[in-house]
């Protein structure tokens, strides 16, 4: 293989590996909104060496973790979040491959809406929680895309079996204080793999059933005839053996065979002929 072809093969392998082993960003706590001065940990899951967390904020673009956080391999930790840390976060490899992105809003206010930072799967149940900095509210009002959708006790609203229609911007309010808007994203269910019934083998088994039954019938017929004729053949063999032993003794005495012995020989020939005829059917 020439060097040019080898380089192309290596490049193609790298591209396939990058697309197959794609990293994804996770956030702890899993919320798109956090209070200021609270810690946040970001991690590049399913990532190999060379991946790091980057972000875009109002004060910097594509800044690497070591600039604004503490890097620990494929993780990045921020001990005290600031409203200026609000922005878009993602994982990026040295080769330029990127993961999913997460938008984090750091609030300096007294109320936030805890909603999933990552997209939720269609059909799942999702809980939105209204949090107050001093104490959890006894009840909270919830809004979607600027429209009031209900008041819930304890500040918890559960969306059952979410679908794409549940995507949008949500916020909550408590005693006149509102949280920032937070986007809820819904992704489709992964395709399910179904196993097809083995139609080919079933049909072939059905087609072979008559021939199998016919073979079994022939075997049974053969066994039946063996059971019937084997005792008869054994008895005949014993009688003939005794007769021949007796005839051999008489021949040693040089005496000619009698008419009875000659008749017994004829009977033996007739018996053997009948046995042969029975087995030829």
Show me where the domains of the chain are located.
24-108, 109-189, 216-279
Contacts of 30 (CB under 8 A, 6+ apart): 116, 117, 118
Enter the tokens of residue 218: 């022939």
Mean pLDDT of the chain: 78
Q: Please give the average per-residue pLDDT across 134-144, as a whole number.
A: 92
**Per-residue pLDDT tens over the stretch 107-135:** 999 999 999 999 999 999 999 999 999 88
Cα dist from 72 to 24, 42, 78, 96, 165, whole Å = 16, 10, 11, 20, 39
Q: Poorest-confidence range of 40-44, 77-81, 175-179, 253-257?
A: 253-257
Q: How far apart are CA 132 and CA 138, in angstroms?
A: 10
Q: How far apart are CA 48 and CA 63, in angstroms?
A: 20
Q: Which CATH superfamily is domain 24-108 in?
A: Immunoglobulins (2.60.40.10)
pTM of the entire predicted model: 0.60
Q: What is the DSSP letter of 84?
A: G
pLDDT at 232 over 60: no
Residue 238: in which H helix or E strand, if any? helix 199-252
Calculate helix-pair angle for 199-252, 259-279, nearest 10 degrees. 170
Is the fold of 24-108 the same as that of 109-189?
Answer: yes
Q: Which CATH superfamily is domain 109-189 in?
A: Immunoglobulins (2.60.40.10)
């Amino acid at each position: 293989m020439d060097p040019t072809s080898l380089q192309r093969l290596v490049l193609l392998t790298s591209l396939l590996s990058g697309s197959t082993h794609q990293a994804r960003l996770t956030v702890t706590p899993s919320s798109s909104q956090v209070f200021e001065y609270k810690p946040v940990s970001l991690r590049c899951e399913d990532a190999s060496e060379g991946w790091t967390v980057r972000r875009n904020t109002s004060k910097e673009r594509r800044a690497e973790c070591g600039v604004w956080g503490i890097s620990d391999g494929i993780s990045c930790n921020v001990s005290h979040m600031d409203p200026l840390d609000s922005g878009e976060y993602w994982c990026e490899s040295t080769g330029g491959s990127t993961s999913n992105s997460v938008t984090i809003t750091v609030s300096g206010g007294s109320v936030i809406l805890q909603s999933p930072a990552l997209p939720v799967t269609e059909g799942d149940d999702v809980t939105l929680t209204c949090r107050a900095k001093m104490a959890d509210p006894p009840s909270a009002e919830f809004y979607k895309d600027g429209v009031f959708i209900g008041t819930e006790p304890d500040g918890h609203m559960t969306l059952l079996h979410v679908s794409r229609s549940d995507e949008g911007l949500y916020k909550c309010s408590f005693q006149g204080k509102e949280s920032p808007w937070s986007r809820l994203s819904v992704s489709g269910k992964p395709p399910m793999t179904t196993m097809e019934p083995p139609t080919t083998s079933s049909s072939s088994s059905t087609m072979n059933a008559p021939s199998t039954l016919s073979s079994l019938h022939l075997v049974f017929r053969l066994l039946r005839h063996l059971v019937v004729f084997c005792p008869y053949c054994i008895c005949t063999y014993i009688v003939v053996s005794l007769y021949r032993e007796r005839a051999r003794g008489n021949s040693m005495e040089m005496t000619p065979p009698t008419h009875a012995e000659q008749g017994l020989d004829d009977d033996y020939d007739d018996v053997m002929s009948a046995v042969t005829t029975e087995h030829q059917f």
